[in-house]
Amino acid sequence: MQPINTSAVACAQRSAHPLWLAASFTLLIGAMAPAAADVYKWADGQGHVHYSDLPPPGDAKLLSVEPGAGTRHVERAAPPAAAPAPASPTPAPLPPSTPQERARLKQSVDTDVASTRATQCKAAQEHYQSYVSSRRIFREGANKERVYLSDAEADAERINARREVEELCAEAPR
């Protein structure tokens, strides 16, 4: 039998202090939170696909929710029906602007659109890579249980994800 190392016992007693445990637990949970964030894929009224870490707005169609870690979750929805756009009030006409002001605004809008396209492209690429690197892909069943896709179904999902990459990362027509 080996003698007990009293310095190890004293260290264990100090680490059992409730405040120390609470602080350690808080740091551990805080470090895990970003890794466990869900990614929501949803389509707006015009059928545009969006990715977000927040649930979609109430009028949007949720396409899938991907858990932050582990296997991938897929939920396919039918494409949004062509519904008439709700009547919106006509915006007040803007005061006339100078050609320089219009050019500045157009450049600003073009920059914003390019930035958004780049963000959407990157999200689609990450989505595709997660499907390629995941060994198993699942859907949520009627009772919220995991229903794993067959190899053929998983391949179809990967093909759809690749198409999204090609659509979102293609050069925008000028």
- Please report, for the chain, the start and end positions of each structural domain, with discontinuous segments joined by +: 36-79+97-169
Residue-level pLDDT at 119: 94
Tens of pLDDT, residue by residue over 112-137, are 999 999 999 999 999 999 988 988 88
- The C-alpha R_g of the chain, in whole angstroms, comes to 25
Residue-level pLDDT at 160: 92
Instruction: Please tell me whether the overall predicted TM-score, pTM, comes out greater than 0.75 for this model.
Output: no
Q: Which residue has the higher pLDDT, 68 or 153?
A: 153
